[in-house]
Chains A and B, each alone.
Chain A
Amino acid sequence: MAKQKLKFAFYWAASCGGCEIAVLDINEKILDVVQVADIVFWPVAMDIKYKDVENMPDKYIDVCFFNGGIRNSEQEHMAKLLRQKSKILVAYGACAHLGGVPGLANLHNKKEIFEKVYVQTFSTHNPNGVFPQPKVQVKEGVLEIPEFYDTVRTLDQTVEVDYYVPGCPPAVERTVFALEAIAKGELPPKGSVLAPLKSVCDECAKKKENKKISRIYRVYEKTPDPERCLLEQGIICMGPATRGGCGARCLKADMPCTGCGGPCPNAPEQGAAMISALASILGLEEEKEKYTEEEVEKLIDQIKDPVGTFYMYGLPASILRRKVMRS
């Protein structure tokens, strides 16, 4: 029976582009996709203008895979537009899902970032302090570029999102899972993250003995025993607080999980969950853990760049979302 083909769209907002490649990483499966779907919008691969999208009827697109967070007016516009034109909007990848690495910009604001990029970087020569302006009057008329925002937002902080595919970028099996579910019409309830419920630990083959640590090592400081859980060896691994579905692929390469899968379903504050877990076991090694407050301070001080560690992908999705700026 000739079933009508689905209409897919892909879009790339505030992200690195890795998610676009991730779509292609499914290799020959892409052919299956083309069997069931037509791609009606994909700026990185096809020449279709925003105007063309605007002209589509509402809900014309069956599924839109949206990667990247929202940090300027253009991205916000497209998020709203694609929401309007799509039956299903999928936040694809960590940036759309949680803000992603670009979300760490929330430790600064527009002013600070512009200062850094347009004045302070070594390669920049900008004696007049020229900064990008959203609107500039030139001879030919008004030139417009998107407005840069103070805060990076996740896709669902901008528009309603139907499904999430986690990962930076999403693992092949996640993408395949999503596509198959769509193709078969077997999608879970709206709002679901298309990944297993358990954390990365569940998929990690490393041996777990006991989680009692007192010394923290950064990755370059130690060659870990490849057989044993990295966290137990003092290397901070976000795996315990990170939703699995990636096959623990970083761990297979003996690198700790950095948390791109986002939070587990019952612990929506991924950073806080790991802060609590790590602080709980840090210092357990000693007899009865009876440290003085000063000693505890030293233990804690071993953790460098805590926000970068605990919120590498999830700062905009965290409870506090961003740094408070005083200016």
Chain B
Amino acid sequence: MANGKVGAVLVVGGGVAGIQAALDLADSGFKVYMVDESPSIGGVMAQLDKTFPTNDCSMCILAPKLVAAGRHPNISLITNSEVLGLSGEAGNFEVKIRKRSRYINEEKCNGCGLCAQKCPVEAIDTYNKGLTDRSAVYVEFPQAVPLRYKIDREKCIGCKTCQEVCKANAVEYDQKDSEITLKVGAVILAPGFEPFDARLKSEYGYGRYANVVTSIEFERILSASGPYGGIVLRPSDGEIPRKIAFVQCVGSRDAQLGNLYCSAACCMYSIKEAIIAKEHVPTKLDCTIFYMDIRAYGKEFDAYYKRAQEEYGIRFVRSRVASITEDPATGNLFVHYVGEDETPRVEEFDMVVLSTGMQPPKNVEKLAKALGIKLNKYKFCETGAFTPLETSKPGVFVCGAFSSPKDIPESVAQASGAAAKAMAIIAPERGKLVAVKEYPPERDVSQEEPRIGVFICHCGINIGGIVRVPEVVEYAKTLPNVVYAEDNLYTCSDDTQKRIREKIKEYNLNRVVVASCTPRTHEPLFRETVREAGLNPYLFEMANIRDQCSWVHMHEPDAATEKAKDLVRSVVAKARLLKPLKNPTVNVTPAALVIGGGVAGMTAALELANQGFEVHLVEREKELGGHLRKIYYLLEGEDPQDHLQKLVKAVMENRLIHVYLGAEVVEVSGFVGNFKSKIRLNNGEEKQVEHGVVIVATGAVEYKPKEYLYGVDPRVLTQHELEEKIAKGRFNARKVVMIQCVGARNEERPNCARICCGQAIKNALKIKELDPDAEVYILYKDVRSYGFKEEYYREAANKGVIFINYSDDRKPKVSNEGGKLKVSFYEPVLKQEIQIQPDIVVLSAATIPNPDNKRIAEMLKVPLTKDGFFLEAHMKLRPVDFQTDGVFLCGMAHSPKYIDESIAQACAAAARAATILSKKVLEMEGIVAKVDEDLCSGCKICESLCPYGAIEMLEKEGKTVAHVIEALCKGCGVCGTACPTKAIVLGHFTTEEILAQVRAIMREMEVAAK
């Protein structure tokens, strides 16, 4: 703490954003305290069934992150707690936290769940949104992290049953709340959002009609782990619905409620819920979505929307629902709305789902006060267009839905971005507060016969109550090479770890088997234990006799015991063959190559330089700035040119950033940590640079329209051209027609270009500002002014900008009649063709991929979407990563986006890059594929298969052989399984090991052959 700074960060909120920020910080050498009000982390995402637009199972993709956060040595989880106050300044804060009592000792509880099983109380299950019950002592959901129970004292009747059954003596009825004080260098706020309370929209009958549910409740209904096991049923009578209505904008875009903003994610999640519902309901199901505008503005969203219509036959009705009434006899619901023909209609449904919007989190004012940050008028966190991650207080950053409603990938990108901001403040303190563990030297067991120790867990009575554990112990002793076996009350407890280490010494064990619960949560713990005893961590194997025996065969103790023996035998057979594995390491060159010098590239470069890393910034044009050079004003009022100048100055003056203008990256070789690239400079010379990461920020370009007389008649402009005209004082038209979706949402480019609606509104407002009497018409398909941009849409409408909807089958026509521009279009309310003679026609031309993307993608071996934008590793949770390690993306290279979004992504890319650059040496997972070159015949099958590009073909002594780049291998084993000569072996899952397991399982009794 030489400069008084603290190398720790407080993250408030344990949803997906908070978790991402915490992991990025912890992975790059900072201590993280993560505070969450709930007893476990996960946030809203843990309640979702699937995620759009890939229909990934939400829990499947979230759970690994929960586990990673839960067991990360640099992350301390402080759950069931709240922040009381913050003092000090950026770099050195003191934060006060209240830990509310769980009435269960967190240190002692091992999450076995017996207490909840025996608890006689039925309480409301908030995870399932009150659709089912739980006990008074509970975890929120089975995958909860930390898996520590809590007593709901409001419901608890004090019978003390839990105290009696708890073998770990963890129940403490008299536990008190406590306060702690922590020192941190920065704070990241990720408290998320609160779903709108649908009761406030009383005309929709939520809370009165059983079959009107909110979208989060419906997520639970869809989920296999939900109240009805994934079968879609009506709450009133448990019948399968045949007709479901989805009502959009409940609590959003609503002047009456004062919620003028759009909640940004509801259109997409409703489409998703409708699709999944149709997949889950075996009989015919009609889904109707009542909407105002379908805001499918994100990457690949429109393609999803289109599938919903065409493949799934989901009906979309453009109308604001007026009210809902119930038929008390059937529980069916009448949806009252005004049809597209302006006539009132009533339609009957079995069930209605209200697409509730996002509200600021509960107790937000208290939190804002405790931290000293400003909120905006909707009580979301106040941020700026160029500072999307910064609160009003220096050193306190924000991410996720707390700064504005947003969906998961944007929250995740912001989270990484906020992490970068925090890292920059405390960069010199990196690595100072994180513990480095020392292990004893590893014992060489290669010459030893296998000597296996088997530890079998009772898990309180979770296993021992069903499986006859002592019998399994005796059985284990008869297995070949088993020299020691014992049973434990809790094999995972601290004292058992000590015992395992002692037994390894005492019996000179060189393999350890634990039969207990699932390796998915406990394998890392036991690997650690054997490592502490001087064994290679991979000389360990687990049998899952709880989740696969005692818990699922509760009424068959004999069968469960026999099965446990089989599983132990199988795992012992594998253990016999286990080999030590080395974690491959690669050295890291602490420098970055950033391709593209627009706002994203410059921001990413600066963020990395602020953390002390060298950056090579390559821009094809002769000056920095990219797209931002063409932007003269913003909806929100800030000055983009001013920001651009400051940014360019900061970049040019930073001695860690090497800027190459008029230059091009022509070759990239190597892999994470060790890239070598060639840059062709503006003088034609080539320069080679070495770097550890690559950030792709190549931006995008404006589509040059071929339609609507563009390029033929000079009075037809694009929005950018109009903006330039206005900014340079050359605008003088009095009648303007704007046409949206030019070059987007069509056959060639099915997706939305996201920013054109905002651009059109921005320019329309500017025109109205210059001349309030000017006539401005905007012909649109959907107005996609999501989030707080909705306000400006409203403002434009209030100021007399006329918005007219058009559909694909009736596109507007632009013609030149006798020298006059003429626009004709169909007016859906008046139901007639209208003709206007505007002074100019402005086309909202799509933002399309940089034509250079293809070359760069091939050079970096990273994929593109069908549209030609770069395709990230995972649409939901890895928005700025590529599947190839060490390569990241940000800005419009990813997809069209607003400046604040590009900046957030750029910061995110910097944070993700810092997780690599901050390490001298990268240590990889030991389970990787290896090629036996004596057997490899160079057929190249593996090379074609590896999704990570981890296999390269090398020439050795005139022969071609495959080689695994260990740094890129993820250990899936696809290559070795396909390898026709089995020259490729996947460590820890070798063919011999798996076949030994198969044979051992099928052998009725193995004769002791000691």
Contacts and interface: CB of A to CB of B under 8 A. Distances in A.
A208 B939 contact: yes
B941 A240 contact: yes
Interface string B952-995: 00000001100000000000001001111111000000010000
A197 B982 CA distance: 12
A244 B937 contact: yes
A211 B940 contact: yes
Contacts of A287: 866
A201 interface: yes
Nearest to A209: B940
B960 A199 contact: no
B943 interface: yes
Contact of B978 (A231, A264, A265, A277): A277
Contact of A267 (B936, B945, B982): B982
Interface centre among A200, A264, A280, A281 (most CB of B within 10 A): A280
Given A210-B943, A281-B945, A198 B936 contact: yes
A266 interface: yes
A182 interface: no
A281 B941 contact: yes
A266 B940 contact: no
A200 B866 CA distance: 39
B935 interface: yes
A260 interface: no
B55 to A, nearest CB: 12
A313 to B, nearest CB: 15
Interface in A247-275: 264-267, 273-274
Given A281-B944, A284-B945, A276 B935 contact: no
Given A201-B937, A264-B935, A266-B932, A241 B944 contact: no
A198 B937 contact: yes
Nearest to B945: A280
B934 interface: yes
Nearest to B974: A280
B313 interface: no
B938 interface: yes
Categorize the interface residue count of chain A.
20 to 34
A198 B979 contact: no
Contacts of A198: 934-937, 981
A212 interface: yes
Nearest to A237: B939
Given A281-B945, A284-B945, A240 B980 contact: yes
Given A202-B938, A211-B941, A281-B945, A273 B959 contact: no
A264 B991 CA distance: 14
Contacts of B978: 276-277, 280-281
Contacts of A209: 940
Given A241-B980, A274-B980, A276-B980, A266 B941 contact: no
A211 B939 contact: yes
B937 A276 contact: no
Contact of A202 (B932, B937, B944, B991): B937
A267 B980 contact: yes
A240 B978 CA distance: 11
A264 B983 CA distance: 9
A247 B137 CA distance: 72
A267 B983 CA distance: 9
Nearest to B985: A266
A197 B944 contact: no
Contacts of B979: 267, 277
A278 to B, nearest CB: 9
Contacts of B983: 266
A326 B12 CA distance: 68
Interface string A299-313: 000000000000000
A240 B939 contact: yes
Interface in B699-735: none
Contacts of B982: 264, 266-267, 273
B869 to A, nearest CB: 15
Interface string A192-214: 00000111111000001111100
Contact of A266 (B935, B943, B977): B935
Interface in B903-941: 932, 934-941
B943 A240 contact: no
Contacts of A280: 941, 945, 974, 977-978
Interface string A220-231: 000000000001
A209 to B, nearest CB: 8
Contact of A199 (B943, B945, B981): B981
B854 to A, nearest CB: 14
B980 A284 contact: no
Nearest to B944: A211
Contacts of B935: 197-198, 264-266
A199 B940 CA distance: 12
Interface in B355-414: none
Contacts of B977: 276, 280
Nearest to A232: B940
B979 to A, nearest CB: 7
A208 B938 CA distance: 9
Contact of B980 (A197, A208, A210, A277): A277
Contacts of A231: 939
Interface string A164-202: 000000000000000000000000000000000111111
Contacts of B934: 197-198
B330 to A, nearest CB: 38
A273 B982 CA distance: 8
A200 B991 CA distance: 22
A182 B937 CA distance: 28
A241 B960 contact: no
Contacts of B939: 199, 201, 208, 211, 231, 239-240
Contacts of A274: 980
B940 A264 contact: no
A132 to B, nearest CB: 39
B60 to A, nearest CB: 18
Given A198-B937, A211-B939, A240-B939, A284 B944 contact: yes
A277 B932 contact: no
Nearest to B984: A266
A276 B960 CA distance: 22
Interface string A41-83: 0000000000000000000000000000000000000000000
Nearest to B977: A276
Contacts of B932: 266
A97 to B, nearest CB: 17
Contacts of B866: 287
Nearest to B992: A266
B251 to A, nearest CB: 37
Nearest to B932: A266
Contacts of A277: 941, 978-980
Interface centre among A198, A231, A265 (most CB of B within 10 A): A198
A88 B733 CA distance: 102
A210 B981 contact: no
A199 B959 CA distance: 13
Interface string B534-573: 0000000000000000000000000000000000000000
Nearest to B936: A198
16 contacts: A199-B980, A208-B939, A208-B940, A239-B939, A241-B980, A264-B937, A264-B980, A267-B979, A274-B980, A276-B980, A277-B978, A280-B974, A280-B977, A281-B941, A281-B945, A287-B866
Interface of B: 866, 932, 934-941, 943-945, 959-960, 974, 977-983, 991
Given A201-B937, A210-B944, A280-B978, 16 more contacts: A208-B938, A209-B940, A210-B940, A210-B943, A211-B940, A211-B943, A239-B939, A264-B937, A266-B935, A266-B982, A267-B979, A267-B981, A273-B982, A276-B978, A280-B945, A284-B945
Nearest 7 CB-CB pairs, A to B?
Answer: A280-B978, A241-B980, A266-B982, A202-B937, A240-B980, A199-B937, A264-B981
Interface of A: 197-202, 208-212, 231, 239-241, 244, 264-267, 273-274, 276-277, 280-281, 284, 287
